[in-house]
Chain A
Amino acid sequence: MKFAVIQFPGSNCDQDCRAALNGIRGAEAEFVWHKETSLDGYDAIVLPGGFSYGDYLRCGAIARFSPIMQAVVKDAVAGKLVIGVCNGFQILCEAELLPGALVRNRSLRFVCDMVTTRVEVDHSPFTAGLQKGTLLRLPVAHGEGCFFADEATLGELNVNRQVILRYVDASGVATPAANPNGSIEHIAGICNRERNVFGLMPHPDRACEQRLGSNDGAKIFESMMRSIAGDQARAA
């Protein structure tokens, strides 16, 4: 199963994403430079973390106009799975593939920590096989990860069950102390209405080996692979 890991100038988790994916049985990840214009032949797309274009203007604001983004949008509309991690999440919001925006952490501090997130839905291609309420330990590292959406958008996100992950404490309760950046309603990750585009601030790519403190991130990539295999089987 082939994953495209997009490299923007300033991406710095591209290596992590490729290494994490290549460590998962059945997955194969390749870099795709942002000047490319096609993502044909890939089963899924990964927008990695980092500081694309130095975070100039706003995080993700310039990367969103990279040539490859037209292919990302085209494939996303066609139903291909797209995951954006950290800066990748910011790019997906700037590209309007996901609603809302990510703004400066409420603390004004860059946060680099291990957090606990809770799976909020029964079914999503990114949490297939994980029951609602499952806790995932994942690292965060960002200065602009505070999710914001206006009330109407937030209402839609909840009604359509688009909130995939929320920040919680070790016992699974969403407390203010467990929210690392002040995100509205403790939101850590959301999907689009069609459920094939997922953005999250925590890094599953940095949590695919127990010796890194957690391998819960692999569960997200494995879920994607399970969903893609299911779709391909149905299509055959």
Chain B
Amino acid sequence: MKVIVTPKAAVLDPQGAAVRDAMQHLGMPEVRSVRIGKYLEIDVDGDEAEVEPRLRELCRDLLSNPVIEDYELQKVEEERG
């Protein structure tokens, strides 16, 4: 499974802004914005369907902070299919 955590739109992302500035400076003035988040690869034992609801809970309670971040849980199989 993959979890992608991104800063909410309302939250300042100074890191993203610094990278955007660098990209513009390096010849890509088209870059309008960059937001930097986190990407987690998670291997689990057992049935994914059974694990998913609990993993989703942990996405909310541990892997992201809902005050400042959104998360997206992706199943690797779906992508391959």
In the bound complex, how far is the Cα of B18 from the Cα of A176, in angstroms?
Answer: 20
B74, CB-defined interface residue at 8 Å: no
Q: How far is the CB of B18 from chain A (nearest CB, A)?
A: 6
Q: Is A31 an interface residue (CB 8 A)?
A: no
Q: Does A42 contact B (CB under 8 A)?
A: no
B11, B12, B14, B62: the one contacting A61 at CB < 8 Å is: B62
- Give the complex CA separation of A226 and B12 in angstroms: 39
Q: Do residues A101 and B12 form an inter-chain contact, with CB atoms below 8 A?
A: no
B24 at the interface (CB under 8 A from A): no
Report the stretch among A21-29, A124-132, A142-150, A202-210 that lies at the interface.
A142-150
Q: Is the CB of B10 within 8 A of A57?
A: no
* Inter-chain contacts of A58 with B (CB < 8 A): 65
**A66 on the B face (CB < 8 A):** no
Chain B residue nearest in CB terms to A106: B14
B67 at the interface (CB under 8 A from A): yes
Q: Are B14 and A107 in contact (CB under 8 A)?
A: yes
| CB-contacts of A158-179 with B (<8 A) | none
Taking a contact as CB atoms under 8 Å apart, the answer to whether B11 and A103 are in contact is: yes
Complex Cα–Cα for A182 and B7 (A): 17
Q: B18 to chain A: which residues have CB within 8 Å?
A: 108
A100 part of interface (Cβ distance < 8 Å): yes
Q: B15 — which chain A residues lie within 8 A by C-beta? A: 104, 108
Cα A146 to Cα B12 in complex, Å, equals 10
Max count, chain A CB within 10 A of own CB: residue among B10, B62, B65: B65
Would you call B62 and A150 a contact (CB within 8 A)?
no
Asked whether, in the complex, the Cβ of A105 is within 8 Å of the Cβ of B14, the reply is: yes
Cα(A62)–Cα(B7), bound, Å: 19
CB of B19 to closest CB in A, whole Å? 11
Give the distance to chain B from A110, nearest Cβ to Cβ, in Å: 13
Residue ID in chain A nearest B62 by CB atoms:
A61
Q: Which residues of B contact A (CB under 8 A)?
A: 7, 10-12, 14-15, 18, 62-63, 65, 67-68
Which A residues are closer than 8 A to B by beta carbons?
A: 57-58, 61-62, 65, 93-94, 99-101, 103-108, 146, 148-150, 182
Chain A to chain B contacts (Cβ below 8 Å), 21 pairs: A57-B62, A61-B65, A62-B62, A65-B62, A94-B65, A99-B67, A100-B67, A101-B65, A101-B68, A103-B11, A103-B12, A106-B14, A108-B18, A146-B12, A148-B11, A148-B12, A148-B67, A148-B68, A149-B67, A150-B67, A182-B14
